[in-house]
Amino acid sequence: MRIPTSRNPKLMSSLNPSLTSSINPQLTSSINPKLTSSINPKLTTSINPALTSSINPKLTSSINYKLTSSRNPNLTSRINPKLTSSINPNISSNISGLYLFDLTLNAVGFTVSSNPKYWLLFDPLCQFTGVAVNCRQNFFIEFDLDNNFVGFFVHAKDQSWLRFNINNDWVGLTT
């Protein structure tokens, strides 16, 4: 992927959680779901898709990409990076979506927004891997292609979101 320097956490210290404590959940408790119950889906029902049907794509068709064509990149070309070069980070380095990184700061994917409250997740080869649904300010729930809850994103600052798995383990970040 063609990641601009200004959005590369390996090159920009302000985007690197090892160098910037405000985006590191091990150093900032307010962005750590193991320490802050309001961002822990196991402890807060409004952000738990097993307990809140409106944020569960298996129970709410409007957020189920399989049932809503405008949210399905296989049916809507403007949200398919294989068909729309401006959202493909292998062609354009200035995508509007987020770049996804693991904790070793390797790029593992990117997002395409079908709207501000719904992200489509892709791997570096533009394979559709899942979706993220905004369920409240500064919080997105992540689902795989079978609409299973697999994790969540917590906003840290600007375009920096922290990615956690369902066990509340920190697994990545965005820029």
Per DSSP, the residues of 130-171 read EEEEEEETTEEEEEETT--EEEEEEEEETTEEEEEETT--EE
The sign of the dihedral angle between the CA atoms of 123, 128, 169, 95 is positive
CA-based radius of gyration for the chain: 16
Write down the pTM of the prediction.
Answer: 0.97
Task: Report pLDDT digits (tens) over 61-94.
Answer: 999 999 999 999 999 999 999 999 999 999 998 9
Task: Report pLDDT digits (tens) over 14-72.
Answer: 999 999 999 999 999 999 999 999 999 999 999 999 999 999 999 999 999 999 999 99
pLDDT interval class at 114 (50, 70, 90)? confident
When pLDDT is averaged across residues 163-170 and rounded to a whole number, the result is 98
3-state secondary structure of 174: strand
| Residue 144 to residues 6, 29, 91, 131, 160, Cα–Cα distance (Å) | 29, 27, 25, 7, 21
**Which pLDDT value is given to residue 41?**
98
3-state secondary structure of 81: coil
- Exposure class string for 93-128: b at 16+ Cβ within 10 A, else e: eebebbbbbeeebebbbbbbebeeebbbbbeeebeb
When pLDDT is averaged across residues 104-114 and rounded to a whole number, the result is 96
